[in-house]
Amino acid sequence: MTATVGVGRSPFGIAVDERTRAVYVTNISDDTVSVISGRTNTVAATIPVGSKPRGVGVNTLTRTAYVSNFASNTLTVLCIRQPERPVRT
């Protein structure tokens, strides 16, 4: 094991941006996504999203992350350059 990083409650989905080494983790019980710096293994941001986020995917070409929110039947779109400012839910 290299590191243990504390994130939100009930972490579920994970995606890695290979270009920036950022790691995105959905936290089902907090309705958030934790953004982890892969360089420092620390939480860089915690982003509120829709209800009960599960899956997350990263598109490095468009610099966008997509978060599926199970309970709210929505998709949150995050701009990777500014993940704390969702494009839309």
What are 22-66's pLDDT values in tens digits?
999 999 999 999 999 999 999 999 999 999 999 999 999 999 999
In angstroms, the Cα distances linking 63 to 11, 21, 28, 29 are: 23, 13, 23, 26
Q: Is residue 55 part of a domain?
A: yes
Residue 67 belongs to a domain: yes
* CATH code, domain carrying 40: 2.40.10.500
Would residue 72 count as lying in a domain? Answer: yes
pTM of the model: 0.90
* Domain count across the chain: 1
In a domain, 28, yes or no: yes
Answer whether residue 15 is part of any domain: yes
**Smallest Cα–Cα separation from 52: which of 35, 86, 84, 27?**
27
Distance CA 88, CA 25 (A): 18
Residue 80 domain-assigned (yes or no):
yes
**Residue-range definition of the domain harbouring residue 60:** 11-88
